[in-house]
Amino acid sequence: MNVPAAIPIRHEPDHRTSTIGRWQGGQFFASVTAAFPEGWSGDDWQSQKRWCAVLHRFDQAGKYLDSRIQFTGTTADGEEKAITAARQLLDEWLGALPERQYQDITITRFEVRFEGALFGLILEEADDEEGADGVSMEFYPDGLGFQAPWDGYYDT
């Protein structure tokens, strides 16, 4: 398994990595995303799908520093209302990052749990159809998968 110590992530304007980059204190990955509690199952998915603003910060070398996460509502409460509130909050947080520039980043693995939901860049291993090991890094809960050749592009 050849997984780099730090994973490159490409900044793609108008796509799911449009709000990543660097700031005076290091690097950041910001998003509006939906999270389900770990281990959740059931029929009432609308009340379990929780929208949130997320700002993960890393040092200049890509080592995890901290996360700021705030849930803004569930799909059952009104998805558009929850997403709008999360976007407004994220805009405030990003506006407070000195010398913010949107660009490619390279970050290390990390894992955070917040109110029962998993956030982070997590190593995943699976057997493919031929029985060989498949290794990837998954960005939770955003659903972005990174794998060899580790060029910063993601799969969803």
Residue 115 lies in a domain: yes
Residue 98 lies in a domain: yes
Residue 15 lies in a domain: yes
Task: Please report, in angstroms and rounded to a whole number, the separation of the first and last CA atoms in the chain.
Answer: 22
Provide the domain limits for residue 56.
6-40+47-146
Per-residue pLDDT, 109: 96
Residue 34 lies in a domain: yes
Q: What is the mean pLDDT of each run of 10 residues along the chain (156 residues)?
A: 90 96 98 92 87 98 98 94 97 98 98 95 76 79 94 92
Split into its structural domains, the chain has a count of 1
Residue 83 lies in a domain: yes
Residue 126 lies in a domain: yes
Evaluate if pTM is beyond 0.95: no
Residue 154 lies in a domain: no
Residue 155 lies in a domain: no
